[in-house]
Amino acid sequence: MTESAIAAPPLRLAPSAFARLGPRFFTALAPAPLPAPYWVGRSAALAREMGIDPDWLGSDDALQAFGGNALLPGSAPLASVYSGHQFGVWAGQLGDGRALLLGETPGGLEVQLKGSGLTPYSRMADGRAVLRSSIREFLVSEAMQALSIPTTRALCVVGSDLPVRRETVETAAVVTRVAPSFIRFGHFEHFSHSGQHAELKALADHVIERFYPACRAAADPYAALLGQVTERTARLLAQWQAVGFMHGVMNTDNMSILGLTIDYGPFQFMDGFDPGHVCNHSDSSGRYAFDQQPAVAHWNLCALGQALLPLIGGRERAIAAIEPFADLYGDALAARMAAKLGFARATPAVGALADALLALLARERTDYPIFWRRLARQMAGTGGEPVRDLFVDRAAWDAWLLQYQELIGHDPSGHSPDLMLKTNPAIVLRNHLAEQAIARAKLKDFGLLQDLLGALERPFDEHPAHPDWAGFPPDWASHIQISCSS
Ligand code: AMP
Ligand code: MG
């Protein structure tokens, strides 16, 4: 037998459990062909987790399947319908305008193509995604995962020279996304606001059955579901805020019912600390500014609660389910900030210290990731540049540091520099890093993209071969404008 005759087994899918919800939930359709597809990037780590044969993932069969030119065995592609509030306004029916759910893996993970052509929900758009935004989504999905921040995953990106018109003419790409479910708050809003309450109940039962089974035993399972989603969303937001992540388009159709980060568009990691920073160039009112994100998440949970009202025994129960958000978020954030400072426990004194620090960072616009990593390395004694050099107002820094040291001195066993090194990443996917990988990828050079992915998969390690990846953004980076167009 020749080597080529031993075919590596392909990824086999089964129709997703979502498909069993019935035709009111989706339209079945095949992806549009993608001319002359080529590989842009693949995540070997996710492939391993999914049990995908690495030889097959490198094959032309896989390239055709993830480009949308062939169907994986067992798949039954569909575009789902949802609705949502966009920028605070009811937007009516939306849906997977350029995404297709292919099916699910034996391990219960849904596999979705994004950018795979027109669907009945494409509205005025073209059903495609551009290479630039596809690379950003691919890299950040895996970066967030490595930071232990709940997220949809990305298995690979396939490119094509097919022209796609945005502000300028770009080229098309398809991202393969993976998650236990892509159900959004907007799915619930869709069936609720259109009066399809049997479908609303079927959807809620599906989500409870698969993802929140403990809710079944509750006195009011749907209020319990809302409570669980509130909890996960609060924790997610605490993680975003602590790491300095901005989503950019927190519409209810971009909110995962599993509390995952979903639909990466104009996202950004904080550079110089500016609580009011707006990363989405199209967000002129600053609705989704960094410091607004927790309040927006709460607002979105209220929209979800409103949608679930037909199933919940009374408005009071819905309000009671969402009400813990502020405390859950506050506690989760306090725990995160304490860990960033190396404290095992979040006490009021640690909280006051963290607040004073954030106020100082905001006043000085101190580079957020660099500050935290330098502090971690300084406390751990592993070298690096002095933290103090980051500040213009050195007296203010010295005063804060003194308080910090005093607090550590009260209970040295409650402080761990190692925890700081494992909590404050050396590398995050800043806009300029993504831009560099994109620029090279446009020239069909994917080496930087793959190297960057490798570093982002180990964000708490130092990457001495690439000091610039952990360094300050270059001057040109401040001119990068990321709009909603993707
Ligand atoms: P977003 O806020 O980018 O997640 O997208 C909002 C809505 O627009 C969703 O229903 C998307 O499926 C849809 N959409 C965005 N871009 C496109 C596109 N190029 N083609 C079709 N639908 C799109
Ligand atoms: Mg979206």
CA 337 to chain centroid, in Å, comes to 20
Best residue among 113, 167, 253, 287 to mutate for probing ligand 1, ranked by most atoms within 8 Å of CB: 253
Nearest listed ligand to the Cα of residue 182: 2
Q: How far apart are CA 444 and CA 159, in angstroms?
A: 10
Q: Which residues surround ligand 2, an ion (CB under 5 A)?
A: 254, 263
Best residue among 90, 122, 170 to mutate for probing ligand 1, ranked by most atoms within 8 Å of CB: 122
Q: How far apart are CA 430 and CA 369, in angstroms?
A: 10
Q: Give residue 255 CA to ligand 2 midpoint distance, Å.
A: 8
Q: Give residue 420 CA to ligand 1 midpoint distance, Å.
A: 39
Q: Looking at ligand 1, which residue's alpha carbon is closest to its atom 11?
A: 97
- Collapsing DSSP to helix, strand or coil, 31 comes out as coil
| Helices 325-340 and 293-308, packing angle to 10 deg | 150
| Residue 117: C-alpha distances to residues 120, 127, 129, 411 (Å) | 10, 4, 9, 59
Beta pairing, strands 153-165 & 169-179: antiparallel
Give yes or no for a contact between 291 and 279, defined as CB atoms under 8 angstroms apart: no
Q: Give residue 481 CA to ligand 1 midpoint distance, Å.
A: 19
Residue 353: which residues within 8 A CB-CB, separation 6 or more? 341, 400, 403, 404, 407
pTM: 0.97
Q: Looking at ligand 1, which residue's alpha carbon is closest to its atom 13?
A: 97
Q: What is the pLDDT of residue 5?
A: 59
Q: Give residue 284 CA to ligand 1 midpoint distance, Å.
A: 19
Q: Give residue 406 CA to ligand 1 midpoint distance, Å.
A: 52
Q: Looking at ligand 1, which residue's alpha carbon is closest to its atom 22?
A: 97
Nearest listed ligand to the Cα of residue 92: 1
Atom number of ligand 1 nearest to Cα 118: 21
What contacts 24+ positions apart, CB below 8 Å, involve 472-478? 472/271, 472/367, 472/370, 473/271, 473/367, 473/430, 473/431, 473/432, 474/432, 476/432, 477/271, 477/430, 477/431, 477/432, 477/435, 478/271
Atom number of ligand 1 nearest to Cα 95: 10
Q: How crowded is residue 167: how many other Cβ atoms within 10 Å of its Cβ?
A: 8
Q: Looking at ligand 1, which residue's alpha carbon is closest to its atom 23?
A: 97
Q: Give residue 153 CA to ligand 2 midpoint distance, Å.
A: 15
Atom number of ligand 1 nearest to Cα 86: 2
Give yes or no for a contact between 350 and 341, defined as CB atoms under 8 angstroms apart: yes
Residue 175 corresponds to which tokens in the numbers above?
Answer: 């991202």
Best residue among 123, 124, 247, 288 to mutate for probing ligand 1, ranked by most atoms within 8 Å of CB: 123
Provide φ and ψ at 142, rounded to 5°.
Answer: -75, -30
Q: What is the mean pLDDT of each run of 10 residues along the chain (486 residues)?
A: 68 97 98 98 97 95 98 97 98 98 97 98 97 98 98 98 97 98 98 98 98 98 98 99 98 98 98 97 96 98 98 96 98 98 97 98 98 98 96 98 98 97 98 98 98 98 96 88 80
Binning the chain into helix, strand and coil, the percentages to the nearest 5 are 50, 15, 35
Q: Looking at ligand 1, which residue's alpha carbon is closest to its atom 12?
A: 97
User: Which residue of the set 253, 263, 271, 367 is catalytic?
Assistant: 253
Q: What is the pLDDT of residue 1?
A: 43
Q: What is the pLDDT of residue 482?
A: 79
Give yes or no for a contact between 177 and 264, defined as CB atoms under 8 angstroms apart: no
80 - beta bridge partners? Answer: 26
Q: Looking at ligand 1, which residue's alpha carbon is closest to its atom 14?
A: 97
Active site residue 445: no
End-to-end CA separation in angstroms for the chain? 46
Q: How far apart are CA 344 and CA 350, in angstroms?
A: 10
Q: Would you mind telling me the total number of residues written for the chain in this entry?
A: 486
Q: What is the pLDDT of residue 211?
A: 98
Ligand 1 first shell, C-beta below 6 A? 94-98, 121-122, 125-128, 249, 251, 254, 263, 265
Q: Give residue 94 CA to ligand 2 midpoint distance, Å.
A: 9
Nearest listed ligand to the Cα of residue 164: 1
Q: Give residue 441 CA to ligand 1 midpoint distance, Å.
A: 24
Which residue's entry shows tokens 């094959």? 59
Atom number of ligand 1 nearest to Cα 119: 21
Atom number of ligand 1 nearest to Cα 263: 4
Question: Taking the CA atoms of the chain, what radius of gyration do you get in angstroms?
Answer: 23
Give yes or no for a contact between 329 and 238, defined as CB atoms under 8 angstroms apart: yes
